[in-house]
Structure 1
Amino acid sequence: MEIIGIVTRLTPFKEKDAMVNIITEEKNLSFLARGVLGIASKNMASVQPYTKSRFLLTRGKEGLSLRTGTVLETFQGAKEKLASLSTLSFIGELTNKVISSEEARKIYPYLDKVLFLLDEGFDALTLALLYTGEILRAAGLGLEVTKCVISGQRSDITAISYLDGGFVATPCFDALRHQKCSKRKLEIIRQIFLAKPEDLNRVVFEKWECLEIIKELLIYLLDASGTRIKSVVLLEKGTQ
Protein backbone atom coordinates (compact mmCIF):
# COMPACT_ATOMS: atom_id res chain seq x y z
CA MET A 1 0.00 0.00 0.00
CA GLU A 2 1.35 3.42 -0.99
CA ILE A 3 0.12 6.47 0.87
CA ILE A 4 1.06 10.11 1.44
CA GLY A 5 0.86 11.43 4.98
CA ILE A 6 2.17 13.89 7.55
CA VAL A 7 4.00 12.43 10.54
CA THR A 8 2.46 13.58 13.82
CA ARG A 9 4.36 11.34 16.24
CA LEU A 10 7.43 9.10 16.31
CA THR A 11 7.65 6.73 19.28
CA PRO A 12 10.77 4.58 19.90
CA PHE A 13 9.92 0.88 19.98
CA LYS A 14 12.54 -1.70 20.90
CA GLU A 15 16.17 -0.89 20.06
CA LYS A 16 16.16 0.80 16.64
CA ASP A 17 12.50 0.47 15.68
CA ALA A 18 9.75 3.06 16.07
CA MET A 19 5.99 3.37 15.85
CA VAL A 20 4.98 6.14 13.47
CA ASN A 21 1.67 8.02 13.54
CA ILE A 22 0.59 9.84 10.39
CA ILE A 23 -2.47 11.70 9.19
CA THR A 24 -3.54 11.38 5.57
CA GLU A 25 -6.26 12.90 3.41
CA GLU A 26 -8.54 10.01 4.37
CA LYS A 27 -7.62 8.74 7.84
CA ASN A 28 -5.10 8.35 10.64
CA LEU A 29 -2.60 5.52 10.44
CA SER A 30 0.11 4.03 12.61
CA PHE A 31 2.79 1.62 11.47
CA LEU A 32 6.00 -0.01 12.62
CA ALA A 33 9.19 1.35 11.08
CA ARG A 34 11.99 -1.14 11.61
CA GLY A 35 15.52 0.16 12.02
CA VAL A 36 14.63 3.83 11.45
CA LEU A 37 16.41 4.93 14.63
CA GLY A 38 19.67 3.53 13.34
CA ILE A 39 22.23 6.00 11.99
CA ALA A 40 22.42 4.25 8.62
CA SER A 41 18.65 4.04 8.06
CA LYS A 42 17.54 5.26 4.63
CA ASN A 43 14.02 5.81 5.96
CA MET A 44 14.94 7.94 8.97
CA ALA A 45 14.26 11.30 7.30
CA SER A 46 10.82 10.28 6.07
CA VAL A 47 9.45 9.50 9.54
CA GLN A 48 10.58 12.63 11.37
CA PRO A 49 7.71 14.49 13.08
CA TYR A 50 5.97 17.14 10.97
CA THR A 51 7.42 15.78 7.74
CA LYS A 52 5.26 15.02 4.71
CA SER A 53 6.30 11.78 3.02
CA ARG A 54 5.23 9.07 0.63
CA PHE A 55 5.19 5.69 2.37
CA LEU A 56 5.13 2.19 0.96
CA LEU A 57 3.58 -0.03 3.63
CA THR A 58 3.11 -3.76 3.91
CA ARG A 59 0.60 -5.59 6.09
CA GLY A 60 1.65 -8.55 8.20
CA LYS A 61 0.35 -10.45 11.21
CA GLU A 62 1.36 -7.61 13.53
CA GLY A 63 -0.16 -4.87 11.38
CA LEU A 64 1.31 -2.31 9.01
CA SER A 65 5.05 -1.87 8.64
CA LEU A 66 7.20 0.49 6.61
CA ARG A 67 8.99 -0.75 3.54
CA THR A 68 10.25 2.55 2.13
CA GLY A 69 9.65 6.22 2.78
CA THR A 70 10.32 9.21 0.53
CA VAL A 71 10.36 12.76 1.86
CA LEU A 72 8.07 15.18 0.02
CA GLU A 73 8.28 18.19 2.36
CA THR A 74 10.49 18.68 5.42
CA PHE A 75 8.99 22.03 6.47
CA GLN A 76 12.48 22.73 7.80
CA GLY A 77 11.87 26.44 8.24
CA ALA A 78 9.18 25.63 10.79
CA LYS A 79 11.71 23.73 12.87
CA GLU A 80 14.34 26.44 13.13
CA LYS A 81 12.61 28.98 15.41
CA LEU A 82 11.42 28.51 18.98
CA ALA A 83 7.98 30.03 18.34
CA SER A 84 7.19 27.76 15.41
CA LEU A 85 8.69 24.72 17.17
CA SER A 86 6.38 25.38 20.12
CA THR A 87 3.42 25.62 17.76
CA LEU A 88 4.44 22.34 16.10
CA SER A 89 4.42 20.57 19.46
CA PHE A 90 1.05 22.11 20.28
CA ILE A 91 -0.70 21.22 17.02
CA GLY A 92 0.83 17.76 17.11
CA GLU A 93 -0.60 17.07 20.56
CA LEU A 94 -3.98 18.47 19.53
CA THR A 95 -4.08 16.29 16.43
CA ASN A 96 -2.99 13.10 18.16
CA LYS A 97 -5.32 13.48 21.13
CA VAL A 98 -8.46 14.87 19.51
CA ILE A 99 -8.72 13.75 15.89
CA SER A 100 -10.10 10.29 15.17
CA SER A 101 -9.52 8.47 11.90
CA GLU A 102 -12.99 9.47 10.70
CA GLU A 103 -12.18 13.15 11.27
CA ALA A 104 -8.79 13.10 9.52
CA ARG A 105 -10.12 14.20 6.13
CA LYS A 106 -11.52 17.36 7.74
CA ILE A 107 -8.28 18.41 9.42
CA TYR A 108 -5.64 17.25 6.90
CA PRO A 109 -5.83 20.30 4.55
CA TYR A 110 -5.55 22.62 7.55
CA LEU A 111 -2.56 20.79 8.99
CA ASP A 112 -0.85 20.79 5.59
CA LYS A 113 -1.43 24.55 5.18
CA VAL A 114 -0.35 25.37 8.74
CA LEU A 115 2.95 23.53 8.24
CA PHE A 116 3.50 25.31 4.93
CA LEU A 117 2.85 28.72 6.49
CA LEU A 118 5.07 28.01 9.50
CA ASP A 119 7.80 27.01 7.05
CA GLU A 120 7.30 30.37 5.30
CA GLY A 121 7.62 32.26 8.61
CA PHE A 122 3.98 33.26 9.16
CA ASP A 123 2.92 34.20 12.70
CA ALA A 124 3.04 31.01 14.75
CA LEU A 125 0.56 31.97 17.48
CA THR A 126 -2.08 33.08 14.99
CA LEU A 127 -1.76 29.70 13.27
CA ALA A 128 -1.98 27.89 16.62
CA LEU A 129 -5.23 29.72 17.38
CA LEU A 130 -6.78 29.11 13.97
CA TYR A 131 -5.81 25.43 14.09
CA THR A 132 -7.34 25.05 17.55
CA GLY A 133 -10.65 26.31 16.22
CA GLU A 134 -10.55 23.89 13.31
CA ILE A 135 -9.66 20.95 15.57
CA LEU A 136 -12.73 21.69 17.69
CA ARG A 137 -14.91 22.04 14.63
CA ALA A 138 -13.63 18.78 13.11
CA ALA A 139 -14.30 16.99 16.41
CA GLY A 140 -17.90 18.22 16.51
CA LEU A 141 -17.20 20.89 19.14
CA GLY A 142 -17.38 23.96 16.94
CA LEU A 143 -19.07 27.02 18.39
CA GLU A 144 -22.09 28.72 16.80
CA VAL A 145 -20.62 32.04 15.64
CA THR A 146 -23.13 33.24 13.04
CA LYS A 147 -26.08 33.86 15.39
CA CYS A 148 -27.20 33.64 19.01
CA VAL A 149 -26.98 30.02 20.09
CA ILE A 150 -30.08 30.48 22.28
CA SER A 151 -32.50 32.59 20.24
CA GLY A 152 -31.09 32.48 16.72
CA GLN A 153 -30.87 36.28 16.66
CA ARG A 154 -28.12 37.53 14.33
CA SER A 155 -27.80 41.09 15.67
CA ASP A 156 -26.75 42.60 19.00
CA ILE A 157 -24.30 39.77 19.76
CA THR A 158 -22.38 40.79 22.88
CA ALA A 159 -21.26 37.63 24.67
CA ILE A 160 -20.11 34.05 24.31
CA SER A 161 -21.19 30.95 26.18
CA TYR A 162 -18.94 27.91 26.22
CA LEU A 163 -21.63 26.14 28.24
CA ASP A 164 -24.27 26.73 25.56
CA GLY A 165 -21.84 26.44 22.66
CA GLY A 166 -21.70 29.79 20.92
CA PHE A 167 -22.50 33.48 20.68
CA VAL A 168 -25.18 35.09 22.82
CA ALA A 169 -27.33 38.14 22.02
CA THR A 170 -28.01 40.82 24.63
CA PRO A 171 -31.64 39.77 25.36
CA CYS A 172 -30.44 36.26 26.25
CA PHE A 173 -27.46 37.27 28.36
CA ASP A 174 -27.11 35.54 31.74
CA ALA A 175 -24.24 36.83 33.87
CA LEU A 176 -23.92 33.44 35.60
CA ARG A 177 -23.48 31.49 32.36
CA HIS A 178 -22.18 33.89 29.75
CA GLN A 179 -19.05 35.95 29.18
CA LYS A 180 -19.30 39.52 27.88
CA CYS A 181 -16.80 40.12 25.07
CA SER A 182 -15.48 43.07 23.10
CA LYS A 183 -16.43 43.34 19.44
CA ARG A 184 -12.80 42.61 18.59
CA LYS A 185 -12.76 39.34 20.55
CA LEU A 186 -16.09 38.21 19.10
CA GLU A 187 -14.80 38.91 15.60
CA ILE A 188 -11.63 36.88 16.23
CA ILE A 189 -13.64 33.93 17.53
CA ARG A 190 -15.96 34.19 14.55
CA GLN A 191 -13.02 34.13 12.16
CA ILE A 192 -11.34 31.10 13.69
CA PHE A 193 -14.48 28.97 13.42
CA LEU A 194 -15.27 30.04 9.85
CA ALA A 195 -11.74 30.01 8.39
CA LYS A 196 -10.94 27.82 5.40
CA PRO A 197 -7.39 26.63 4.60
CA GLU A 198 -6.89 29.48 2.14
CA ASP A 199 -7.84 32.01 4.85
CA LEU A 200 -5.16 31.06 7.36
CA ASN A 201 -2.65 33.74 6.32
CA ARG A 202 -5.07 36.62 5.81
CA VAL A 203 -4.87 38.06 9.30
CA VAL A 204 -2.45 38.22 12.24
CA PHE A 205 -3.72 38.54 15.80
CA GLU A 206 -1.90 39.99 18.79
CA LYS A 207 0.08 37.57 20.95
CA TRP A 208 -2.04 38.19 24.06
CA GLU A 209 -5.26 37.75 22.09
CA CYS A 210 -4.13 34.40 20.76
CA LEU A 211 -3.03 33.06 24.13
CA GLU A 212 -6.17 34.26 25.92
CA ILE A 213 -8.55 32.63 23.44
CA ILE A 214 -6.49 29.45 23.07
CA LYS A 215 -6.61 28.93 26.85
CA GLU A 216 -10.37 29.46 26.89
CA LEU A 217 -10.87 27.00 24.05
CA LEU A 218 -8.70 24.40 25.77
CA ILE A 219 -10.78 24.70 28.95
CA TYR A 220 -13.85 24.23 26.77
CA LEU A 221 -12.23 21.15 25.20
CA LEU A 222 -11.34 19.75 28.64
CA ASP A 223 -14.87 20.27 29.96
CA ALA A 224 -16.48 18.81 26.84
CA SER A 225 -14.25 15.78 26.27
CA GLY A 226 -11.88 15.38 29.21
CA THR A 227 -8.89 16.01 26.93
CA ARG A 228 -6.08 18.07 28.46
CA ILE A 229 -3.49 19.69 26.18
CA LYS A 230 -0.27 20.10 28.15
CA SER A 231 1.89 21.72 25.48
CA VAL A 232 0.02 25.02 25.72
CA VAL A 233 2.72 26.06 28.21
CA LEU A 234 5.25 25.78 25.38
CA LEU A 235 3.33 28.38 23.37
CA GLU A 236 3.81 30.92 26.15
CA LYS A 237 7.50 30.12 26.61
CA GLY A 238 8.12 30.09 22.86
CA THR A 239 6.88 33.65 22.44
CA GLN A 240 8.50 35.28 25.46
Structure 2
Amino acid sequence: MFIVIKPRAFILLAVLAPCPAYAADGDFQAWTSSTVSFATSDRVTLAVEGQARWTDDASRLGQALVRPSVSLKLGKTTSAAIGYAYVFTNPVGPAESREHRLWQQLSYELGSTDGGLKVTARSRLEQRHFEGFGQTGWRLRQQVRATKPLDNKISVVAWSEVFVSVNETAWGQRKGLDRWRNAVGVNIPIKDNMTFEPVYIHQWVNRRDTDRMDHVISLALNAKF
Protein backbone atom coordinates (compact mmCIF):
# COMPACT_ATOMS: atom_id res chain seq x y z
CA MET A 1 0.00 0.00 0.00
CA PHE A 2 1.11 3.54 -0.65
CA ILE A 3 1.24 6.13 2.08
CA VAL A 4 -1.19 9.02 1.83
CA ILE A 5 0.71 12.22 2.55
CA LYS A 6 -0.91 15.60 2.96
CA PRO A 7 0.60 18.55 0.98
CA ARG A 8 2.24 20.17 3.99
CA ALA A 9 4.46 17.08 4.31
CA PHE A 10 6.43 18.16 1.26
CA ILE A 11 7.29 21.45 2.96
CA LEU A 12 8.52 19.58 6.04
CA LEU A 13 10.58 17.15 4.00
CA ALA A 14 12.25 20.07 2.23
CA VAL A 15 13.14 21.60 5.59
CA LEU A 16 14.61 18.28 6.72
CA ALA A 17 16.73 17.79 3.59
CA PRO A 18 20.29 16.67 4.36
CA CYS A 19 22.74 19.43 5.19
CA PRO A 20 26.43 19.42 4.25
CA ALA A 21 28.97 17.78 6.52
CA TYR A 22 31.10 19.93 8.84
CA ALA A 23 34.19 19.32 10.94
CA ALA A 24 32.95 18.83 14.48
CA ASP A 25 33.79 17.87 18.05
CA GLY A 26 31.92 14.92 19.52
CA ASP A 27 30.38 13.73 22.78
CA PHE A 28 28.61 10.59 23.98
CA GLN A 29 25.55 11.31 26.11
CA ALA A 30 22.80 9.40 27.91
CA TRP A 31 19.34 10.92 28.28
CA THR A 32 16.53 9.59 30.46
CA SER A 33 12.98 10.92 30.50
CA SER A 34 9.60 10.17 32.02
CA THR A 35 6.30 11.62 30.85
CA VAL A 36 2.98 11.23 32.65
CA SER A 37 -0.24 12.47 31.05
CA PHE A 38 -3.78 12.67 32.44
CA ALA A 39 -6.87 12.99 30.25
CA THR A 40 -9.23 15.31 32.11
CA SER A 41 -11.87 15.04 29.38
CA ASP A 42 -12.27 13.73 25.84
CA ARG A 43 -10.39 16.77 24.53
CA VAL A 44 -8.11 18.05 27.30
CA THR A 45 -4.92 16.37 28.54
CA LEU A 46 -2.49 17.49 31.23
CA ALA A 47 1.10 16.23 31.07
CA VAL A 48 4.42 16.64 32.84
CA GLU A 49 7.81 15.50 31.56
CA GLY A 50 11.10 15.21 33.41
CA GLN A 51 14.48 14.71 31.77
CA ALA A 52 18.03 14.12 32.95
CA ARG A 53 20.88 14.33 30.45
CA TRP A 54 24.31 12.94 31.26
CA THR A 55 27.04 14.56 29.16
CA ASP A 56 30.84 14.41 28.75
CA ASP A 57 30.87 10.72 27.85
CA ALA A 58 27.82 10.26 30.12
CA SER A 59 30.01 10.92 33.16
CA ARG A 60 28.09 13.82 34.73
CA LEU A 61 24.64 15.39 34.86
CA GLY A 62 24.94 18.20 32.35
CA GLN A 63 21.29 19.17 32.00
CA ALA A 64 17.94 18.61 33.69
CA LEU A 65 14.51 19.87 32.71
CA VAL A 66 10.88 19.77 33.80
CA ARG A 67 8.19 20.42 31.17
CA PRO A 68 4.47 20.62 32.14
CA SER A 69 1.83 21.21 29.46
CA VAL A 70 -1.87 21.21 28.63
CA SER A 71 -3.17 20.06 25.26
CA LEU A 72 -6.49 20.40 23.47
CA LYS A 73 -7.68 17.93 20.85
CA LEU A 74 -8.81 19.85 17.77
CA GLY A 75 -9.72 16.88 15.59
CA LYS A 76 -9.17 13.17 15.12
CA THR A 77 -5.45 13.57 14.33
CA THR A 78 -4.72 17.17 15.38
CA SER A 79 -4.05 18.76 18.76
CA ALA A 80 -2.70 22.03 20.13
CA ALA A 81 -0.68 22.47 23.32
CA ILE A 82 0.86 25.17 25.47
CA GLY A 83 3.52 24.58 28.09
CA TYR A 84 6.45 25.72 30.18
CA ALA A 85 9.93 24.27 30.65
CA TYR A 86 12.51 24.87 33.36
CA VAL A 87 15.95 23.93 32.04
CA PHE A 88 19.05 23.77 34.27
CA THR A 89 22.31 23.44 32.34
CA ASN A 90 25.69 22.75 33.96
CA PRO A 91 28.42 22.67 31.28
CA VAL A 92 32.08 21.93 32.01
CA GLY A 93 33.46 25.28 30.91
CA PRO A 94 30.95 28.16 31.03
CA ALA A 95 28.88 29.03 34.07
CA GLU A 96 25.69 27.10 34.74
CA SER A 97 22.43 28.56 33.45
CA ARG A 98 18.74 28.48 34.33
CA GLU A 99 16.24 28.86 31.53
CA HIS A 100 12.50 29.52 31.71
CA ARG A 101 10.87 28.53 28.45
CA LEU A 102 7.30 29.10 27.25
CA TRP A 103 6.12 27.16 24.22
CA GLN A 104 3.17 26.54 21.92
CA GLN A 105 2.76 23.43 19.78
CA LEU A 106 0.61 21.98 17.01
CA SER A 107 0.66 18.18 16.49
CA TYR A 108 -0.87 16.56 13.41
CA GLU A 109 -0.83 13.44 11.26
CA LEU A 110 0.76 13.60 7.81
CA GLY A 111 -0.27 10.18 6.52
CA SER A 112 -0.66 6.45 7.15
CA THR A 113 -0.89 3.08 5.42
CA ASP A 114 -3.06 0.00 5.81
CA GLY A 115 0.04 -1.79 7.11
CA GLY A 116 0.24 0.44 10.16
CA LEU A 117 2.93 2.90 9.10
CA LYS A 118 2.06 6.33 10.47
CA VAL A 119 3.80 9.65 9.86
CA THR A 120 3.12 12.49 12.28
CA ALA A 121 4.59 15.92 12.88
CA ARG A 122 4.77 18.59 15.54
CA SER A 123 5.53 22.29 15.15
CA ARG A 124 6.70 24.03 18.32
CA LEU A 125 7.46 27.72 18.93
CA GLU A 126 9.54 28.56 22.01
CA GLN A 127 10.18 31.77 23.92
CA ARG A 128 13.43 31.32 25.84
CA HIS A 129 14.26 33.43 28.92
CA PHE A 130 17.56 33.06 30.82
CA GLU A 131 18.02 34.30 34.37
CA GLY A 132 20.21 37.41 34.40
CA PHE A 133 19.24 38.50 30.88
CA GLY A 134 16.29 40.53 29.69
CA GLN A 135 16.08 39.43 26.07
CA THR A 136 13.77 36.70 24.80
CA GLY A 137 15.06 34.16 22.31
CA TRP A 138 12.49 32.85 19.83
CA ARG A 139 13.07 29.38 18.41
CA LEU A 140 11.09 27.15 16.06
CA ARG A 141 11.26 23.35 16.32
CA GLN A 142 9.90 21.08 13.60
CA GLN A 143 9.75 17.31 14.05
CA VAL A 144 8.59 14.59 11.67
CA ARG A 145 8.11 11.11 13.18
CA ALA A 146 7.38 7.71 11.61
CA THR A 147 6.22 4.57 13.46
CA LYS A 148 5.66 1.06 12.11
CA PRO A 149 4.33 -1.76 14.33
CA LEU A 150 5.90 -5.21 14.13
CA ASP A 151 4.15 -8.55 14.61
CA ASN A 152 5.01 -8.68 18.31
CA LYS A 153 3.42 -5.23 18.95
CA ILE A 154 6.80 -3.55 19.22
CA SER A 155 7.01 -0.56 16.89
CA VAL A 156 10.01 0.73 14.98
CA VAL A 157 10.42 4.48 15.47
CA ALA A 158 12.34 7.07 13.46
CA TRP A 159 12.19 10.84 13.71
CA SER A 160 13.98 14.00 12.66
CA GLU A 161 13.81 17.41 14.33
CA VAL A 162 15.35 20.74 13.32
CA PHE A 163 15.77 23.75 15.63
CA VAL A 164 15.80 27.19 14.01
CA SER A 165 16.52 30.34 16.04
CA VAL A 166 14.42 33.28 14.88
CA ASN A 167 16.45 36.10 16.46
CA GLU A 168 19.78 36.90 18.12
CA THR A 169 20.24 37.65 21.82
CA ALA A 170 22.89 38.99 24.18
CA TRP A 171 23.00 35.65 25.99
CA GLY A 172 24.28 33.84 22.91
CA GLN A 173 21.43 32.76 20.64
CA ARG A 174 22.31 33.21 16.96
CA LYS A 175 19.78 33.54 14.18
CA GLY A 176 19.48 30.50 11.92
CA LEU A 177 19.85 26.74 12.22
CA ASP A 178 20.68 25.89 15.84
CA ARG A 179 20.74 22.08 15.93
CA TRP A 180 19.41 19.01 14.17
CA ARG A 181 18.45 15.68 15.77
CA ASN A 182 17.85 12.38 13.97
CA ALA A 183 16.76 9.27 15.85
CA VAL A 184 15.95 5.60 15.36
CA GLY A 185 14.76 3.05 17.90
CA VAL A 186 11.81 1.01 19.12
CA ASN A 187 8.66 1.61 21.12
CA ILE A 188 7.84 -1.22 23.55
CA PRO A 189 4.46 -1.52 25.31
CA ILE A 190 4.86 -2.40 29.00
CA LYS A 191 1.21 -2.10 30.01
CA ASP A 192 -1.93 -0.90 28.28
CA ASN A 193 -1.14 2.65 29.36
CA MET A 194 2.67 2.59 29.45
CA THR A 195 5.46 2.38 26.87
CA PHE A 196 9.26 2.28 26.95
CA GLU A 197 11.16 3.87 24.06
CA PRO A 198 14.93 3.35 23.74
CA VAL A 199 16.42 5.21 20.76
CA TYR A 200 19.74 6.36 19.38
CA ILE A 201 19.90 10.10 18.63
CA HIS A 202 22.48 11.78 16.44
CA GLN A 203 22.59 15.48 17.27
CA TRP A 204 24.43 18.15 15.28
CA VAL A 205 24.93 21.43 17.17
CA ASN A 206 25.85 24.66 15.38
CA ARG A 207 28.52 26.52 17.37
CA ARG A 208 30.52 29.70 16.78
CA ASP A 209 33.82 27.86 16.44
CA THR A 210 33.74 24.09 15.87
CA ASP A 211 30.36 22.40 15.53
CA ARG A 212 29.55 19.46 17.83
CA MET A 213 28.23 16.00 16.99
CA ASP A 214 26.55 14.22 19.91
CA HIS A 215 25.84 10.48 20.01
CA VAL A 216 22.99 9.96 22.44
CA ILE A 217 21.32 6.91 23.97
CA SER A 218 17.85 8.02 25.02
CA LEU A 219 15.58 6.01 27.34
CA ALA A 220 12.01 7.30 27.62
CA LEU A 221 9.16 6.01 29.77
CA ASN A 222 5.64 7.26 28.95
CA ALA A 223 2.46 6.67 30.94
CA LYS A 224 -1.11 7.75 30.14
CA PHE A 225 -4.04 7.88 32.55
Tell whether the structures are fold-level matches, with TM greater than 0.5.
no
Q: TM-score, normalised by structure 1?
A: 0.21
More helix by share: 1
Q: TM-score, normalised by structure 2?
A: 0.22
More strand by share: 2
